Amino acid sequence: MGEGMEGVGLVTGGGGSAVKAAILTATLALAPHSGNNSPGYAYAMEPSMRRSLAFFLALVVAMPVVPAFAQADLRTEGDVAKAQSAYDAEVPVNSQGESDRPGALARALGAVLGKVSGDRSVMSRPGVPQALRNAPNYVEHYDYRQDQGTSRTGAPTFRTTLVARFRQSDVDGLIAALGLPVWPLPRPKPVLWLAIDDGSGPRLVGVAQANAARSVLDRAIERGYRLGLPGGAAAEQALAGAIWRKDTAAVSRASAKYSPPMQLIGKLYRNAAGWTADWVFVDNGNALSSWTSSDGDARRAMAAGADGAADALVKRYAKRVDSGVPGVYRAVITGIHSADDYLRVAAALQGVSVVRSIRPVSANGDRMEVDLELLTGISGLNRMLGDNSPLVSVSVPTEGPIILDNEHAEYRLK
């Protein structure tokens, strides 16, 4: 584009110096055309076109993102806010103040993405941290819960928890756009066959002893599924020995009366450093995975069983939606007739987490060309834009990380 625009690219999002950046960008864009075009581009910019692009750049950089928070549901007396599904999450907060809410909603959306995808490393996946900044836009409703407890010294303690529910269609679209796996619903409820030896011999944990296994049961819920416990009849109590011997066939036969035919088999015992748990996950008679967890705290050693079972289930049953190839794509946008139209285009692109940067190319009449650096392909971008976006997809190029002169994505501003 010559010296006026060469090297000017925008990373979406902004900081405290956004307005200064917009002014600088506009100044660069309005600089005289030198005639030395960047390789691979044919820029022919009239002064009016440069002014249009400069205005667009200023809007993209300086325009603030104002989230719209959903109002909390009204509850009748005695009701308690609680996460109910894979699209709900609970996170602790310091207060119910507005300043604490965006960060809490971001953490809650991260937890939901982890549950729906089954990926416990989801927070480190490309595009996810950026998407969490827009968490308020996905909220269906939120509420707060006050929990009271007792400290080790006997003093009362109080904790505030935010409970948020996110719109399923929006979360599913986000997961597809980011190329994350989807762990289908409904999910199986494996039977937990856990024997604990605290020094007095192994004993089976049945329904009546559910509190002894609370950490692994709760961790399963956090991962987006549930574990069941055997009834604990005398015949089942005798299986503690089979669990200790890792006789998975005997446990599977005894578990045949329960549904589904899945078992998480574990034995928890003391060691010199604290506690160790040995685990095997069995699906329809086949051992899918085995692992060991150790910790000074028995609850943490036990909770790791739920993680291993979830990982085994996700590896076998999760499906990934193709969201395209990351890279830089040329996009043509038509239907731009006014400053307000530039504002709408800037808002639509800036609000999509898979867009890493926007680089203007040319503007002519009601038509503008930009290069979009995407964390996914065009299909992922279109999923994120959704049906309510002011940008309507007209044509989709062959997806790939290389810009082709004769191929571009085309959008119409409605």
Give residues with Cβ within 8 angstroms of 178, minimum separation 6: 125, 126, 127, 128, 131, 323, 353, 354, 375, 376, 380
pLDDT for res 70: 57
Distance of CA 228 to the CA centre of its chain: 27
- What's the pTM value of the predicted model, to 2 decimals? 0.71
Give the closest residue to 383 by CA, choosing from 328, 334, 317, 322. 322
pLDDT attached to residue 119:
95
Give the phi and the psi of residue 33 in degrees, each rounded to 5: -75, 125
Query: Tens of pLDDT along the chain (414 residues)?
Result: 444 344 344 444 444 334 334 433 433 343 443 334 333 344 444 555 566 666 666 655 555 544 555 555 544 444 556 677 999 999 999 999 999 999 999 999 999 999 999 999 999 998 899 899 989 989 999 999 999 888 888 899 999 999 999 999 889 989 988 889 999 999 999 999 999 999 999 999 999 999 999 999 999 999 999 999 999 999 999 999 999 999 999 999 999 999 999 999 999 999 999 999 999 999 999 999 999 999 999 999 999 999 999 999 999 999 987 777 888 889 999 999 998 998 899 889 988 888 888 888 998 999 999 999 988 888 888 888 888 899 999 988 766 555 555 678 999 999
- How does DSSP classify residue 127? T
pLDDT for the residue 353:
81
At 400 the pLDDT is: 56
Report the DSSP beta bridge partners of residue 14: none
CA dihedral 223, 171, 317, 227 (to 10 degrees): 30
Cβ atoms of 126 and 100 within 8 Å: the answer is: no
Give the per-residue pLDDT at 339.
Answer: 86
Q: Is the dihedral of CA 325, 25, 392, 13 positive or negative?
A: positive
**Confidence (pLDDT) at 44:** 45
